[in-house]
Amino acid sequence: MRLRPIERSELAQVRDLHQRSFNHDGVPEVLSLDEVEEELDDEHVVLESDTRVAEIDGEIAGTCWAYHLPSETKEERCYVIGEVDPAYRGRGAGRELLAWGVGRATELLTSSANDLPKFIRVDAFDFIEDAHRLYARMGFEPVRYMEELLRPLDDLPPLRDVDGIRIVPWPDGRDEEIRLEKNAAFADHWGSTPTSPEHWKTVVHGYGSRLDLSYVALDGDDNVVGHCLNKRFPEDDELIGRSDAWIDSVGTLADWRGRGIATAMMIRSLHAFAADELTHASIGVDSANPTGAAELYRNLGFEPNQRTITHQIQI
């Protein structure tokens, strides 16, 4: 076995390996080459220094990359992401790759001059027991449970108005205003740090984004006080047996919470999904979200579908 950086010419092989791993583990997702290219062409990943493949007998047996999210507020984190081809499991590739990933993540985090708390994090669906055992052996501890909720697009609640607020389609040319609102709205969320302008561009305009199905909330002075960014991944439809839209990011400024703004944006989104002839809506939520988001989503008809577990090491 040897470890070396991922080469750009190998991204299709990386995609195929990850898909074989997903299929073997029962992960209900079809990974596209565009998604892999977008993640590994991100400002937070440098192929030469932040990625590795494990080769066994000259064949790619697994992959790993460190996804560093610099921050100047609250905390700094680095995610370690990877998969091992089912045909090569049990030969130590996962252990070697994760050990490399932890080492690289430690280098990235300790290179920052700030004195913020620093964390290395990994996550996996709760049913992938091999992954959780490996994380435990490498010193990670489970710290958070992230639920994915699902709702059929029938029996929808009626559209709502909020006094003093306009819910409008995602506007052109206002991404920076919405980014600042998003960062402020998520400031009290666990594991969230401010999103940079470059990364926000990818989030908003990157793979799967459906701005035609997304909304913002404006106050009487035309200021952005809330957002609901939605996405769509049609490649998954055949595998999961339905057509989902994802409510990818929804938030409201703290001073405007409790007025039903998030609810109004989400209901508007559900109606837009149904009008687009989709069958279901999905959303992810931290089970311990301090804003009461989990209860809000359940009140709108969302029910638990599956769950991931986040593990971390603090350095």
Report whether 242 contacts 175 (CB < 8 A): no
pLDDT in tens, 266-308: 999 999 999 999 999 999 998 776 566 778 899 999 999 999 9
User: pTM higher than 0.85, yes or no?
Assistant: yes
Q: What string of DSSP letters covers 227-261? A: EEEEEE-GGGHHHHTS-EEEEEEEEE-GGGTTSSH
**Mean pLDDT, all residues of the chain:** 95
CB 61 within 8 A of CB 85: yes
Q: Which of 292, 308, 285 is nearest to 260 (CA)?
A: 292
- Cα–Cα distance list, 66 to 83, 105, 108, 187 (Å): 13, 6, 9, 24
Token pair for 25: 């583990």
The pLDDT tens digits for 178-205 are: 999 999 999 888 888 899 999 999 999 9
Instruction: Report pLDDT for 292.
Output: 67
DSSP state of 7: P
Tell me: pLDDT of 43 over 90.
Answer: no
Instruction: Tell me the domains of the chain and their CATH numbers.
Output: 2-139 (3.40.630.30), 149-307 (3.40.630.30)
User: What CA–CA distance (Å, rounded) separates 140 from 124?
Assistant: 13
pLDDT of residue 291: 61
